[in-house]
Structure 1
Amino acid sequence: MTQSRKTVLITGASSGLGAGMARQFAARGYHLALCARRTERLLELKAELSGAYGVQVEVLALDVNDHEQVFAVFEDFAQRFGHLDRIIVNAGIGEGRRIGSGHFATNKRTAETNFVAALAQCEAAVTIFRRQNSGHLVVISSMSAMRGLPKHLTTYAASKAAVAHLAEGIRAELLHTPIRVSTLYPGYIRTELNAGAKKLPFEIPEELGCQYLVKAIERQPAKACVPGWPWALMGVVMKVLPLRLVARFN
């Protein structure tokens, strides 16, 4: 285990990639600021990680669609720890329906949670980092951001492309500062959130996926596909495929 006094804040930390990354960071000696809607899951995770690794774990309830609460929770964590080294904008949802099929409310919720709520998290994070004159902002996008996708993926892919462009714009703004900005594009990682889905191409289990994510984050890249193989190559292929082939994606 690497000894470290650094603190990482993770949103959407009660399950899936958020909880998995929390476990990986705790094993590396990081203190943790964890937030999500389900506080009972957060408290279980706190007990698990503080007991196993002896790190400080603080938890707070957060609905990222309550934008005022986002700012309040981030500032609360900053006060508790005195310094936040890394903030991971991870909270999001994978819902979506075909455009024009009568499910605007579902698509609107996906767009708001994955982009507008991410904007609030980035605003709150960069406010803290500017004050500290240091920090590492990590935005979790998706390989689906590489192209506009059909069927139930249309709004989801668009929201993940939007958040990737948001992160790139922030990175451009902060190029000549001590603040770093990373955008991660995960491929298919099997978690409890997609446990009922059919087997997906190149999918990997949650624990392995979170290992790859945390290793990538610690390198502080501008952008990274996770895992690098085969997704870095797939990202190039997806951008040049004819639309008629993209339209076959499920």
Structure 2
Amino acid sequence: MAGAERWTVITGASSGIGEELAKVFAQRGYPLVLTARRSGRLETLAADLRRSHGVPVEVLALDLEDRGGPQELVDWLKERDLTVHTLVNNAGFGLRGRFASLPFERQVAMIDLNIVAVTVLCRLLLPGMIARGRGGILNVASTAAFQGGPFMAVYYATKAFVLSLSEALYEEAKPFGVTVTALCPGPTETEFSMTADLESSKLFKKGAMSAADVARSGIAGYEARRAVVIPGMPNRIGAFGAKLLPRSLSRKLAGLLQQGE
């Protein structure tokens, strides 16, 4: 395998936004490394992308909730001499419910996946991008990042971290020709909504974007070297409104939207 290839690494690539991001990058001719826990779905997607777009696609089944997972991924890339041009931190999950009632083990696992894995992978792979003077990172955050979120307290907090980290790294990396972009989708039609028990929430019932539209918007913004991408006008209005409203009102509104009807 040629180390000179500009590989794109996508975490959480077996479904939803991650799967659609893989399809769009493949259409653009990027060689891909796809990682997620479900090897069967990854292998099926990889075969489809190779056949449809003629790009190299490698697969690694990996659980990034494991604190050793990010280092395992980077070691695997080094063993194969794969030069990472773009890192896509998409893997993540959410849970809906009261903070004091949700299983604390799953909330800590959410922090490990949504925050720790993202941070470690950025730290391990960004120096090489800076040294080469090209490439970048696309971190999948959420419109949840713009306010506190009662009934999804830890999830909202993790996405606020991802947004803040991404914006800071954007400024640090920009002088070296490297881009760091935060993709902040709102409600999206993916398996995430089922895992998080969101489908009955007022927020989800207000309408959701397709994962394909989110992916196209995110990659377009990343290629345009934007720091933050919010797909869809309603989501942009909502994020802007969260900045204008008093925080006391913004968090109450977020809590109301998380509740079921």
What CA RMSD, in Å, does the superposition of the two structures yield over aligned residues? Answer: 2.1
Q: In the alignment, does 2:104 pair up with 1:100?
A: no
The code of the aligned residue for 1:104 comes to F
Secondary structure in 1 aligned to 2:83? coil
**Structure-2 change in CA distance of 1:143 and 1:172 (3 Å):** same
**Which 10-residue stretch deviates more, 201-210 or 15-24?**
201-210
Deviation at 1:182, TM superposition (A): 0.8
Offset, 1:156: 0.5
Find out whether 1:190 has 2:208 as its counterpart: no
2:229 is matched with which residue: 218, 224, 228? 224
CA apart distance, 1:73: 1.7
Query: Does the 8 Å contact 2:35/2:62 carry over to 1?
Result: yes
The one-letter code sitting in structure 2 at the alignment partner of 1:30 is Y
Contact 1:24–1:211 (CA under 8 A) maintained in structure 2: yes
2:153 & 2:212 partners in 1: Cα distance?
28
Q: Out of 205, 210, 219, which is 1:214 matched to?
A: 219
Q: Which residue of 1 aligns with 2:135?
A: 135
Mapped to 2, the partners of 1:113 and 1:23 lie a distance apart of: 23
5+ long unaligned stretches in structure 1: none
The one-letter code of the counterpart of 1:177 is: F
- Distance of aligned partners of 1:216 and 1:172 in 2 relative to their CA distance in 1, 3 Å threshold: closer
Q: How do 1:165-184 and structure 2 match up within 5 A?
A: 165-184=164-183
Give the conservation status (yes or no) of the 8 Å contact 2:130–2:176.
no
Structure 1 position 41, deviation (Å): 1.1
Alignment-derived partner of residue 71 in structure 1: 71
Find out whether 1:233 has 2:231 as its counterpart.
no
Aligned amino acid, residue 137 of structure 1: I
Shift in Å at residue 46 of structure 1? 0.9
Listed as ranges, the gaps of 5+ residues in structure 2 are none
**Partner Cα distance (2:205, 2:114) in 1:** 22
1:248 corresponds to = 256
**Alignment TM-score, normalising by the size of structure 1:** 0.88
Distance 1:218 1:202 in 2: 27
Q: Confirm or deny: 8 A CA contact 2:65 2:109 kept in the other structure.
A: no
Whole-Å separation in 2 of the counterparts to 1:13 and 1:155: 23
Q: Is the 8 A contact 1:149 1:249 kept in 2?
A: no
Query: In 2, are the aligned partners of 1:94 and 1:156 still within 8 Å (CA)?
Result: yes
Go from structure 1 to structure 2 and tell me whether the alpha carbon gap of 1:67 and 1:106 turns closer, same or farther (over 3 Å shift): closer
Matched position secondary structure for 2:88: strand
Name the SS of the counterpart of 1:34 in structure 2. strand
Query: Using the alignment, how far apart are the partners of 1:9 and 1:158 within structure 2?
Result: 25
Pair 1:203-2:180 in alignment: no
Structure 1 consecutive aligned stretches of length 4 or more whose deviation exceeds 6 Å = none
CA distance in 2, matches of 1:221, 1:40: 34
CA distance in 2, matches of 1:100, 1:192: 25
Question: Shift of residue 62 of structure 1?
Answer: 1.8
Q: Deviations over 1:170-204 (max 9, x none)?
A: 22332321221111111111013325713432412
1:6 Cα deviation after fit: 4.2
Deviation larger for 182-191 or 237-246: 237-246
CA contact (8 A) 1:96 1:107 kept: no
**Inter-CA distance 53–163: structure 2 relative to 1 (3 Å threshold):** same
Q: Which amino acid aligns with 2:185?
A: P
Counterpart-to-counterpart distance in 1, 2:51 and 2:138: 27
Q: Would you say the 8 A contact 2:136–2:178 is kept in 1?
A: yes
State the distance in 2 between where 1:125 and 1:157 align: 25
Assess, with a 3 A threshold, how the Cα gap between structure 1 residues 67 and 246 changes in structure 2: closer, same or farther.
closer
Deviation at 1:131, TM superposition (A): 4.0
Q: Structure 1 residues 106 and 69, CA, compared in 2 at 3 Å: closer, same or farther?
A: closer
Q: Give yes or no for contact 1:138–1:182 (8 Å, CA) kept in 2.
A: yes
Matched length: 244
Contact map agreement 2:13 2:19 (CA 8 A) in 1: yes
Percent of counterpart pairs with the same letter? 29
TM-score (norm: length of structure 2): 0.85
Alignment-derived partner of residue 163 in structure 1: 162
